[in-house]
């Protein structure tokens, strides 16, 4: 039985085990993905154990950047992003990838994003992946809003405070929340005020639990088109599965497994 892991802190809310294990079963692969809570100070020890016993891993908040120092190789996109959310173990050699950006972009294929100014809220690992995903898609009119401005400048030359972003919200045609604010169980929280939102704006939240965050409910009530984190979650997970196994993932099987759990 091959062992796969999703590591983070917190981790109880993750639906990666449900989604990936459904895919393993569908493909007839004898493997299991397990959720493991890892504190920052435990990361090096966990990597040493994983090197001997694990086949692959998903990496989530807050380890996407700090995990890189313990890997043997990081692919060019993940290196450019400066964050890893996927590890492949090739006979003890650990290789890092980033599927956040490509997964998010795949989830937006139904929308015409040309001539839209983009606002990314947050400056963590997911924000990095999504920012570089947009750049690779040829979209460069991007601004980051973050509580700590200096973290935003480490990713993007255009940075606003959260208060400045709230004031200028009407300028943006696509807004993406990449922070965990509003995630279960703190579901009444909102990353920014949407008072100045226009109804022509597309508003995305990479959170999928709850299925519709307070942030998205507010945007929808103001007439905006909304998208939750499920398309990104399924697409980035499918890409992870393909890195691990070399087989094509069944996105429908994965999505149905997550939706069943969220019910």
Q: Tell me the residue range of the domain where 115 lies.
A: 102-228
Q: What is the mean pLDDT of the chain?
A: 95
pLDDT in tens, 248-258: 999 999 999 99
Do both 67 and 11 map to the same domain? yes
C-alpha–C-alpha distance, residues 49 and 51, integer Å:
5
Tokens of 114: 């040309």
Do both 193 and 237 map to the same domain? no
Do both 108 and 80 map to the same domain? no
Do both 169 and 144 map to the same domain? yes
Do both 47 and 126 map to the same domain? no
pLDDT in tens, 37-66: 999 999 999 999 999 999 999 999 889 999
pLDDT for the residue 125: 83
* CATH number for the domain that contains residue 34: 3.40.50.10860
* CATH number for the domain that contains residue 221: 3.40.50.720
Do both 237 and 217 map to the same domain? no
List the beta strands (DSSP E) in 91-223.
93-97, 118-121, 142-145, 159-160, 174-177, 202-205
pLDDT in tens, 91-147: 999 999 999 999 999 999 999 999 999 999 999 888 999 999 999 999 999 999 999
pLDDT in tens, 76-97: 999 999 999 999 999 999 999 9
Residue 183 has pLDDT above 90, yes or no: no
How many domains does one find in the chain? Answer: 2
Do both 128 and 189 map to the same domain? yes
pLDDT for the residue 126: 87
152 C-beta neighbours (distance < 10 Å), count: 23
pLDDT band at 247 (very low <50, low <70, confident <90, very high): very high
User: Is 64 an active-site residue?
Assistant: yes
Residue among 3, 15, 52, 64 flagged as catalytic: 64
Determine contact, residues 178/131, Cβ cutoff 8 Å: no
Q: What percent of the chain has pLDDT over 90?
A: 90
Do both 81 and 113 map to the same domain? no
pLDDT for the residue 171: 97
pLDDT for the residue 13: 81
pLDDT for the residue 75: 96
Do both 133 and 152 map to the same domain? yes
Helix H or strand E segment including 226:
strand 225-227
C-alpha–C-alpha distance, residues 224 and 200, integer Å:
6
């Amino acid at each position: 039985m091959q062992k796969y892991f999703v590591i983070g802190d917190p981790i109880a809310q993750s639906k990666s085990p449900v989604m990936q294990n459904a895919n393993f079963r569908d493909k007839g692969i004898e493997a299991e993905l397990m959720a493991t809570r890892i504190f920052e100070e435990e990361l090096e020890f966990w990597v040493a154990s994983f090197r001997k016993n694990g086949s692959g891993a998903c990496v989530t908040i807050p380890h996407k950047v700090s995990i890189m120092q313990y890997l043997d190789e990081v692919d060019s996109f993940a290196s450019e992003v400066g964050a890893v959310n996927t590890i492949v173990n090739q006979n003890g050699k650990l290789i890092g990838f980033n599927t956040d950006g490509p997964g998010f972009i795949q989830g937006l294929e139904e929308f015409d994003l040309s001539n839209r100014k983009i606002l990314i809220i947050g400056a963590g690992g997911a924000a990095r992946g999504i920012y570089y995903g947009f750049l690779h898609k040829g979209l460069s009119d991007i601004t980051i809003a973050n509580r700590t401005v200096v973290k935003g400048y480490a990713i993007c030359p255009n940075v606003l405070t959260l208060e400045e972003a709230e004031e200028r919200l009407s300028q943006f045609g696509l807004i993406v929340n990449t922070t965990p604010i509003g995630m279960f169980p703190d579901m009444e929280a909102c990353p920014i005020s949407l008072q100045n939102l226009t109804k022509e704006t597309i508003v995305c939240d990479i959170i999928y639990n709850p299925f519709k965050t307070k942030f998205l409910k507010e945007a929808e009530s103001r007439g905006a088109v909304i998208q939750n984190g499920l398309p990104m979650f399924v697409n980035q997970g499918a890409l992870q599965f393909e890195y691990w196994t070399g087989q094509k993932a069944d996105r429908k099987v994965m999505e149905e497994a997550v939706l069943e759990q969220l019910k």
